[in-house]
Amino acid sequence: MEFTKGNKLWTKRSKHGRDRIFATPEIMAEAADEYFQHIMDNPVDEIDFRGKDSNEVKLPHQLPFTLEGLTLFLHVNRKYFDDFEDSLDGKDDEISLDFSLLITRIRQIIHNQQYSMAAAGFLKENIVSRYLGLKDKADLTSDDKGLNMDLNVNVVHTGVMPAFSEEEIRKRDGLPD
């Protein structure tokens, strides 16, 4: 079948674009809850050997919640999820606001579980902190001017005579009189 240039057949279709994968926030919430429950119900087993006879022991470890894991579980990709979230910006209809609140809540649950498990020592803290974008900042630059620090020392007299006199300590440490 040949189409003539400039035809308007597209105006005859009943809808534009594809349907949302999740028709309602409630369906998405149920699917996310299923993912969280699946992770909790299916720990990975670490095989270890304990005792003098080296008996094999299985140690269950819960996996962390991740957005990548959630999107795989939901049969969507991360880009779809992020684009869907971005498409909700600026919309003020009830369903868009509900989806937006739900996605924020999902991200908070994932973040909180990862942070809590790392703080409790169940996950590698440095890996989780990088994944969550946490940083421990300290600016130790001097702009090539050197670090100029004044050191104030308060001497507290305890009534016990020091092994060395103050003068001997100053000479030993090269301090001015």
Q: Which pLDDT score, from 0 to 100, does residue 174 have?
A: 78
Q: Give the C-alpha separation, 101 to 81, whole Å.
A: 14
* pLDDT by 10s per residue, the chain, length 177: 576 777 776 666 665 556 678 889 999 999 999 999 999 999 988 888 888 888 999 988 888 999 999 999 999 989 999 999 999 999 999 999 999 999 999 999 999 998 888 888 877 777 777 766 766 666 566 666 666 667 676 666 666 555 667 777 777 777 877
DSSP for 96-118, please give it.
HHHHHHHHHHHHHHHHHHHHHHH
Q: Which pLDDT score, from 0 to 100, does residue 130 have?
A: 73
Q: Which of 132, 133, 22, 14 is nearest to 84 (CA)?
A: 22
**pTM (predicted TM-score):** 0.62
Q: Which pLDDT score, from 0 to 100, does residue 118 have?
A: 83
Q: Which of 29, 37, 81 is nearest to 63 (CA)?
A: 37
Domain ranges of the chain: 19-132
Query: What CATH number should be reported for the domain whose range is 19-132?
Result: 1.10.132.80
Q: Which pLDDT score, from 0 to 100, does residue 87 have?
A: 92
